[in-house]
């Protein structure tokens, strides 16, 4: 693998960074305070073609490698990682349909998802079913000639405005767990969305409980599992989400380094710039080195998704676990360098510190990543 970006990839990364600086960075704090709309932010990404980076051209997308989506998430993470988490869920649904959807499902949903006219959400977890998906109690029951969905999903990212949900539910007769595409567009009174959960970090992201109250499923709702079963589908969607959220952690780290260096070169204490103190130099050296290691792991995972899919699960778990760990630690070190300036709620670093802790939990906890790695390493 070439661990450096090609010229087109580097150009794409710079294009993403320019867009985020101009259109997302100015509203980052408003997004966190819910004074700006996350839905509109995602729709603008769709209008630019950025939601459809991995959607095949025949379905209205750009047909680029998954690495391009990771580069977009990295750019978003430099200013507002919450947008990257919303992107992660949307992209996970796209990739599920790409891989497991039939022609009808692809033709119906992929063009809408690529343009941002439909925002997607993964509705998998329940109060008693987090990583242990088999504990789900959400059911699909046959009532007459129709399949009807009953149950509640918790902490659904994009739940407040999603018009397409991927829902994990059990057949009431066989208890077999399956994934269903649930269209929430139009008059969907049978889908009840709760209030956004208040959170430590990632406050810009809508995270809602969603109740499906006798919701009638479309005839083509079932997402066929292929040979790997539903566990493979859910793990694959998780691998996508992990890689995207790890990339946003990378962007957060890069931004934290830049702010730390700037402060170290301008702040004076005891008659000299604080960057002249070895303690500060060592903090920034550690930050820079560990960020570089994160970058290699993340780009590797994105590359293996397309080129060596047999290694994707392992690489996705590694990059997500390591990047979220380093982001949590090194954003704390950036706060230490910035001092009281970093503690202000107007400081991006203060927001990053809170967001980074959430990254160790969302898209699968750090402990679960180690369980996945144990399996992949045949332990």
For 44-64, write each residue's pLDDT tens digit: 999 999 999 999 999 999 999
Per-residue pLDDT tens digits for 155-181: 999 999 999 999 999 988 788 899 999
Q: What average pLDDT does this structure show over 305-324?
A: 97
Q: Give yes or no for residue 93 having a pLDDT over 60.
A: yes
Catalytic residues: 363
Closest residue by Cα to residue 63 from 72, 55, 71: 55
Instruction: Say which residue, 187 or 341, is predicted with more confidence.
Output: 341
Task: Quickly state the pLDDT bin for 185 (edges 50, 70, 90).
Answer: confident
Task: Quickly state the pLDDT bin for 4 (edges 50, 70, 90).
Answer: confident
- pLDDT recorded at residue 257: 98
Task: Quickly state the pLDDT bin for 187 (edges 50, 70, 90).
Answer: low
Q: What average pLDDT does this structure show over 267-293?
A: 96
Task: Quickly state the pLDDT bin for 3 (edges 50, 70, 90).
Answer: low
- pLDDT recorded at residue 230: 87
Task: Quickly state the pLDDT bin for 130 (edges 50, 70, 90).
Answer: confident
Task: Quickly state the pLDDT bin for 2 (edges 50, 70, 90).
Answer: low
Q: Give yes or no for residue 137 having a pLDDT over 90.
A: no
Q: What proportion of the chain, given as a percentage, has pLDDT over 90?
A: 87
Q: Give yes or no for residue 1 having a pLDDT over 60.
A: no
- pLDDT recorded at residue 174: 81
- pLDDT recorded at residue 54: 97
Question: Domains, the chain, ranges and CATH?
Answer: 7-118 (1.10.540.10), 121-223 (2.40.110.10), 229-376 (1.20.140.10)
Q: What average pLDDT does this structure show over 195-202?
A: 96
Average pLDDT, the chain: 94
Q: What average pLDDT does this structure show over 71-89?
A: 98
CB atoms near residue 216 (< 10 Å): 11
Q: Give yes or no for residue 144 having a pLDDT over 60.
A: yes
Evaluate whether 187 touches 119 at the Cβ level (below 8 Å): no
Q: Give yes or no for residue 301 having a pLDDT over 70.
A: yes
């Amino acid at each position: 693998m070439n661990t450096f970006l090609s010229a087109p990839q580097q150009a794409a990364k710079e294009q993403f960074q320019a867009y985020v600086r101009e259109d997302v960075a100015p509203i980052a704090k408003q997004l966190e305070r819910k004074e700006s709309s996350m839905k509109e932010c995602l729709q603008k990404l769709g209008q630019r073609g950025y939601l459809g980076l991995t959607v095949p051209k025949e379905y209205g997308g750009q047909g680029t490698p998954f690495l391009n989506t990771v580069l977009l998430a990295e750019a978003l993470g430099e200013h507002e990682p919450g947008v990257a988490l919303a992107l992660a869920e949307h992209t996970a649904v796209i990739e599920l349909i790409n891989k497991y959807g039939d022609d009808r499902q692809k033709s119906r949903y992929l063009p809408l998802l690529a343009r941002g006219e439909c925002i997607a959400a993964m509705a998998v977890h329940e109060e008693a079913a987090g990583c242990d998906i088999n504990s789900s109690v959400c059911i699909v029951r046959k009532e007459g000639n129709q399949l009807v969905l009953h149950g509640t999903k918790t902490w659904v990212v994009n739940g407040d405005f999603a018009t397409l949900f991927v829902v994990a539910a059990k057949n009431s007769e066989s208890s077999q767990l399956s994934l269903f595409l649930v269209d929430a567009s139009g008059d969907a009174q049978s889908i009840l969305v709760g209030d956004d959960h208040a959170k430590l970090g990632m406050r810009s992201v809508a995270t809602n409980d969603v109740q499906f109250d006798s919701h009638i499923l479309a005839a083509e709702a079932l997402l066929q599992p292929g040979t790997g079963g539903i566990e493979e589908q859910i793990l694959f969607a998780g691998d996508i989400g992990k890689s995207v959220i790890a990339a946003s952690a990378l962007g957060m780290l890069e931004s934290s380094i830049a702010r730390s260096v700037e402060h170290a070169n301008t702040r004076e204490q005891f008659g000299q710039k604080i960057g002249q103190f070895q303690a500060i130099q060592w903090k920034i050296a550690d930050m820079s080195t560990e960020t570089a290691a994160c970058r290699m792991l993340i780009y590797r995972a994105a590359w293996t998704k397309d080129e060596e899919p047999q290694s994707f699960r392992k690489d996705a778990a590694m990059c997500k676990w390591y990047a979220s760990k380093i982001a949590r630690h090194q954003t704390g070190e950036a706060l230490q360098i910035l001092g009281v300036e970093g503690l202000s709620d107007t400081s991006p670093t203060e927001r990053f510190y809170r967001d980074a802790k959430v990254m160790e939990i969302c898209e699968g906890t750090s402990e679960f990543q180690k369980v996945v790695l144990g399996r992949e390493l045949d332990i």
